Amino acid sequence: MHAALATAIATAALTAAMAAAGTVDASVEPALRALAAELDPRAASALASIDGTGRRLLAARAYLRGSTQMDERWSWSASEAAAFEASPERRALDAAIARVRCVFEAANPGSTLFVNPEFRSLELQLERWNTNDTVGRAGDNLLGAARRMLATPVRRGDGLGHQAELLRQLLLEHQPDPVPTLAAPGLSPHGRMRAIDFQVESAGRIVAGTDSAAVASEWIAAGWKDRLLAAIRSADAGFQGPLATPDEPWHYDFRPEAGQGDAGDDLGCRLAA
Ligand SMILES: [Zn+2]
């Protein structure tokens, strides 16, 4: 094969691979790496598994903003999740879900609520972050802002420490556009079972699921958003929500300390002792 043609093919393949994995931006990466070195080690490690500068910047923003709460928020390891399975907290969560489901079924004959019983591992969060479209687009926009700030001649002449400080300020002030439909890897409340996604099932089929593109049709027009909310309120079992930004009618935070009521007992939906 002609050498120039071989080079062209190799270059095209590399370009395609980089587009798939997300662009690595040489004007921003050094400052991002300097910033990452100051992050919580768990966050720095997660960043290393994220594809492309844009997605990494977007995650770094979340890690900076959550830096004082990493211990309370960071997703469980497999052994922490196993410990939860054997705990009173697991039984309390199951009882709270059962209570909501019972109230919902009484009000909506023929339908029930499906809940994923598993916590969302860091590995799964990383996999989703690396492939999610809203994260990709918000990352591209954030990368554009970082490039505009750092790629000027005067900034290129700055020391790396100063560039990292400028990048930190940008990340702390930046508002992602669009709003990503995922929490940064490691920081999803699903990683500690502090949030539950309720999906509506009728005749063995999910009729209102967790697809953001189907909120208007499955949840609003079909009325399931209001019906789920009514069951959540009536059950008073510690669920708060739904998540408003982004709009996720299925996503409720679980704060067991908040749900103490006995509403629903007349339906036979008692909380287990
Ligand atoms: Zn959720």
Residue 196 Cα to ligand 1 middle (Å)? 6
Q: Do 169 and 68 share a domain, yes or no? A: yes
Residue 188 Cα to ligand 1 middle (Å)? 8
Q: Do 208 and 93 share a domain, yes or no? A: yes
Q: Do 214 and 254 share a domain, yes or no? A: yes
Residue 210 Cα to ligand 1 middle (Å)? 8
How would you class 3 by CB atoms within 10 Å of its CB: exposed for 0-12, middle for 13-18, buried for 19 or more?
exposed
CB of 219 closer than 8 Å to CB of 208: yes
Structural domain contains residue 206: yes
Q: What is the mean pLDDT of the segment spanning 107-129?
A: 97
Residue 169 Cα to ligand 1 middle (Å)? 29
Q: Dihedral angle at the C-alpha atoms of 155, 161, 162, 163, nearest 10 degrees?
A: 40
Picking from 253, 249, 242, the residue whose alpha carbon sits closest to that of residue 215 is 249
Q: Do 94 and 42 share a domain, yes or no? A: no
The number of domains in the chain is 2
Q: Do 13 and 97 share a domain, yes or no? A: no
pLDDT score of 241: 97
- What is the DSSP track for 58-118? HHHHHHHHTGGGHHHHSPPPHHHHHHHHTSHHHHHHHHHHHHHHHHHHHHSTTEEEE---S
pTM of structure: 0.84
Structural domain contains residue 189: no
Mean of pLDDT over the chain:
89
Q: Of 9-18, 31-40, 106-115, 252-261, which range is least confident?
A: 9-18
Residue 112 Cα to ligand 1 middle (Å)? 18
Q: Do 261 and 212 share a domain, yes or no? A: yes
Structural domain contains residue 178: no
Q: Which domain holds residue 9?
A: 3-73+123-173
pLDDT score of 264: 46
Structural domain contains residue 222: yes
Residue 235 Cα to ligand 1 middle (Å)? 19
Residue 182 Cα to ligand 1 middle (Å)? 8
Residue 79 Cα to ligand 1 middle (Å)? 22
Structural domain contains residue 184: no
Q: Do 250 and 221 share a domain, yes or no? A: yes
Residue 189 Cα to ligand 1 middle (Å)? 8
Q: Do 168 and 246 share a domain, yes or no? A: no
Residue 271 Cα to ligand 1 middle (Å)? 23
Last residue of a domain, one of 156, 173, 190: 173
> How far apart are the C-alpha atoms of 192 and 48, rounded to whole Å?
22
Q: What is the mean pLDDT of the segment spanning 199-220?
A: 97
Q: Do 107 and 54 share a domain, yes or no? A: no
Residue 207 Cα to ligand 1 middle (Å)? 17
Q: What is the mean pLDDT of the segment spanning 97-115?
A: 97
Q: Residue 199: in which H helix or E strand, if any?
A: strand 199-202
Last residue of a domain, one of 173, 188, 211: 173
Q: DSSP letter at 221?
A: I
Residue 190 Cα to ligand 1 middle (Å)? 7
Residue 32 Cα to ligand 1 middle (Å)? 29
Q: Do 64 and 131 share a domain, yes or no? A: yes
Question: 176-198 pLDDT, tens per residue?
Answer: 999 999 999 999 999 999 999 99
Structural domain contains residue 45: yes
Q: What is the mean pLDDT of the segment spanning 192-212?
A: 97
Structural domain contains residue 134: yes
Q: Do 141 and 238 share a domain, yes or no? A: no
Q: Do 61 and 130 share a domain, yes or no? A: yes
Last residue of a domain, one of 138, 173, 208: 173
Structural domain contains residue 88: yes
Residue 167 Cα to ligand 1 middle (Å)? 30
Residue 250 Cα to ligand 1 middle (Å)? 7
